[in-house]
Amino acid sequence: MISGKRIQNRRFSAITAILLLSFFIILSAAGCSKRTDSNSGTGTGTETNLPTADTGTEETDSDTPGSIPGNGSASESPAASSGIMKVHFIDVGQGDAILAESGGQYLLIDAGENTQGDAVCRYLRSLGVSRLDYIICTHPHSDHIGGMDTVISSFDAGIIIMPDVIETTRTFEAVLDAISAKGLTITKAAVGTSYALGSGSFRIIAPNGSGYDDINDYSVGIRLTNGSNSFLLAGDAEALSEREMLESGTSLSADVLKLGHHGSSYSSSDDFLDAVDPSYAVISVGTGNQYGHPSSEILASVSERDIQIFRTDRQGTIIFTSDGNSLTVSTVLGASSTNSSDPSTSSGPVSDSGSAPADASASDAVMAGSEPIDGNVIVHTTKTGKKYHSAGCIYLKSDIAATLDEALTRGLEPCSECSPPVKQITN
C-alpha cells in the first residue's frame, strides 16, 4: 500500500515535471522570437531580401510570435528555433574585416590595415560591442591584421585564433604585443574544431597543411552556419589551400562565399567554386588598389555561375542577416571606409539576380527602403549578350543604351557583376 502510494506520488511528480518542462520550453520559445524581432535592421542603406538557394521552406518573415512551429509536444527537438545571425563585411578599403554576431556573441575576423584600426573600433562601438568572444587573425599580412593591435587594446577579448606561422614585421609584432599586454593567449587554428556563436557555430576548415611558400595559404578558413544558412570565409587562401580543403572532405557548401584574396586569380579555382556553390559572393577590396584586385577572369567565372557579387569598393559595408532559413542583405556606403563612394551604386537597389526562381523572389520581394524602379530608366546592353548592365560594367563590350523595359522585353537578365536596376515583381 505504502509502495503503491509512492508510485502514485512518483507518477504525479513525473507528470508535474513534464508539465513544467513544456511550460519552460514554450517560455523560452517565446523569448527567442522576441529577441528575433528586436534585432532587425541596422543600416541606413539599401536592404534587400535574398532568396536562398537550397531551402525548400518558403516563409521568410518571422515577425509573428507564432512563427516557431509548436505542436505542444515537449519531446520536440529544438531544430526550428534558429536565432538571428548578422555578418558584416566592413568596408576597410583594401583589406578584410568581417564581424559576425549572434545572440550577443561576436566574432571578428581581421581588422584591415594599420590605418583602419580606429575605423573598425568605431564601427564595433556603433553596434554596442564591448567584448569580442572570438578574434581570428587569418594570416599575418598587414591588410588583415594591421588594425588588430588597436582593436585588441580597445576591447575585451576571448579566444584569439591564429595560424601557426610567424612574420617578423612590425605590424605582426604589434599584434603579439597587444595580446600579451592584455594577458591573453593565442589559440592555434586546428582544422575540425567547432565553436558556438549565438544560435550558430563556426568550424575551422583551413589551413590543412604547413610549410607553405606563400603566407596567404596559411589563412585560417571557417565555415560559419546559422540554421540552414552558411558562409565560407577563408582570408587570402589560394588554390593550394583550396585544394586541401576540397581533399579534406569537409562540407564546403555555403550561401555566401567571401572570394579568397580579394578576388585575385590565385584563388577561387573552378573546383572550389563548384564545391562551395554559393548564391552570393563578397569581394572585400579597395578602390583602385595597386594589385588589380579583383581579377576580371575571376569575375567572369563567378558571373558564369550566376553568383551575385557584392563588393565593398562599390557598395561599402555589406551586411547579411540570417534568420536560419533566409538571408537579407543591406549595404551602407561610407560607413567606415577609405573607399571612395561611387555615386552610381548608391542609387539603384542592390537586388536579386535573374537566377532566382521567380516565385521565391516573389514571396521575398519586400524590398525595404527601395523605390519601385521606373521602366524608362536607362540601362546598357551589348550586341549579343543575354544580360543588361550598369554604365561602366566590365562586361559591356559594345555599349547600347536601352530602357529597362526594352531590355526586359528582349528577355535580357540583370548582370550579376554590376547589379543594374531591376523591376520589383508584383504578384
Query: What is the contact surface with Zn ion in residues (CB under 5 A)?
Result: 141, 143, 216, 236
How far is 136 from 95, CA to CA, in rounded Å?
Answer: 14
Q: State the nearest-atom distance from the C-beta of 147 to Zn ion, in Å.
A: 13
Q: State the nearest-atom distance from the C-beta of 315 to Zn ion, in Å.
A: 19
Select 215 or 425, whichever has its Cβ closest to Zn ion: 215
Select 195 or 266, whichever has its Cβ closest to Zn ion: 266
Q: State the nearest-atom distance from the C-beta of 113 to Zn ion, in Å.
A: 10
How would you list the strands of the sheet with 46-50, edge to edge? 46-50, 327-332, 317-322, 85-89, 98-102, 105-109, 131-136, 156-162, 186-188
Select 143 or 149, whichever has its Cβ closest to Zn ion: 143
C-alpha cell at 354: 535573374
Select 143 or 313, whichever has its Cβ closest to Zn ion: 143
Q: State the nearest-atom distance from the C-beta of 148 to Zn ion, in Å.
A: 13
Q: State the nearest-atom distance from the C-beta of 242 to Zn ion, in Å.
A: 14
- Residues near 396 by Cβ (< 8 Å), separated by ≥ 6? 380, 382, 389
Q: State the nearest-atom distance from the C-beta of 214 to Zn ion, in Å.
A: 8
Q: DSSP state, 140?
A: S
The residue among 302, 288, 233, 231 whose CA lies nearest residue 261 is 233
Q: State the nearest-atom distance from the C-beta of 218 to Zn ion, in Å.
A: 9
Select 171 or 226, whichever has its Cβ closest to Zn ion: 171
User: ∠ CA(165), CA(217), CA(147), 5° rounding?
Assistant: 65
Contact yes or no for 211/117 (Cβ under 8 A): no
Select 231 or 266, whichever has its Cβ closest to Zn ion: 266
Q: State the nearest-atom distance from the C-beta of 293 to Zn ion, in Å.
A: 8
The amino acid present at 422, given as its one-letter code, is: V
Select 143 or 417, whichever has its Cβ closest to Zn ion: 143
Select 95 or 227, whichever has its Cβ closest to Zn ion: 95
The residue among 144, 151, 135 whose CA lies nearest residue 189 is 135
Contact yes or no for 328/321 (Cβ under 8 A): yes
> Length of the chain in residues, anyone?
427
How far is 339 from 341, CA to CA, in rounded Å?
Answer: 6
DSSP conformation letters of 324-360: SS-EEEEEETTSS-SSPP-HHHHHS-----TTS-HHH
DSSP conformation letters of 214-247: SGGGG--EEEEEETTEEEEE-TT--HHHHHHHHH
